[in-house]
Amino acid sequence: MEHESSQQTVDAERTAPWGEQIVEGLTTYGERAGDALLYSSGYLAVIAMVELAIVMTILGIEANPAPLVVALVTFAVYSYDRLVDVDADEMSNPRQSAFIRRHRDVLYLLASVSYGFAVALSVLGGPFALAITLLPGMFGVLYASDWIPSVGVQVARFKDILVVNTAVVAFAWAVTLTFLPLTFAGRMFTPAAGVVFCYFFLRSFVDTELPNVGDIESDRASGVSTLPIVLGVRGARYALYGVDLLSLGLVVFAIGTDLVSSGVAAAMGVGILYSLVLVSRIGRTDDYELLNLVSECEYLLVGGVMAAVVVLGV
Q: What is the pLDDT of residue 201?
A: 96
pLDDT in tens, 158-180: 555 666 778 888 998 999 999 99
Residues 6+ positions from 302 with CB-CB distance below 8 Å: 54, 267, 268, 270, 271
The closest of 72, 221, 65, 218 to 134, measured between CA atoms, is 72
Q: What is the pLDDT of residue 2?
A: 45
- Residue 21 resides in a domain: no
In a domain, 91, yes or no: yes
Angle CA 308–60–123, to nearest 5: 120
Domain around 86: 27-312
Judged against a pLDDT cut of 80, whether residue 80 lies above it is answered with yes
Distance (Å, rounded) from C-alpha 40 to C-alpha 280? 28
Query: What's the pLDDT at 269?
Result: 95
3 lies in some domain: no
Report if residue 46 sits inside a domain: yes
- 200 and 136 Cβ atoms separated by less than 8 Å: no
Report, as an integer, the average pLDDT of 29-35. 58
**Predicted confidence (pLDDT) per residue in 130-155, tens digit:** 999 998 877 666 655 554 444 444 44
Q: Give the tens place of pLDDT for each residue, 239-279.
A: 999 999 999 999 999 999 999 999 999 999 999 999 999 99
Position 75 in a domain: yes
pLDDT in tens, 293-309: 899 899 999 999 999 98
> What is the per-residue pLDDT for 119?
94
Q: Does residue 220 lie in a domain region?
A: yes
Averaged over 172-192, what is the pLDDT? 94
Q: Does the residue 152 lie in any domain?
A: yes
Number of domains in the chain: 1
Lowest mean pLDDT across 45-54, 61-70, 284-293: 284-293
Question: b/e for 108-119, b at 16 or more Cβ within 10 A?
Answer: eebbeebbeebb
CATH of the domain at 207: 1.10.600
Assessment of whether the complete model's pTM goes beyond 0.85: no
Q: What pLDDT score was predicted for residue 154?
A: 43
Asked if residues 79 and 110 have their Cβ atoms less than 8 Å apart, the reply is: yes
**Residues with Cβ < 8 Å from 62, sequence gap 6 or more?**
56, 185
* Distance (Å, whole) CA 34 – CA 37: 5
DSSP state string for 235-258? HHHHHHHHHHHHHHHHHHHHHHTT
Residue 10 belongs to some domain of the structure: no
Which pLDDT score, from 0 to 100, does residue 252 have? 96
Q: Cα separation of 19 and 16, whole Å?
A: 8
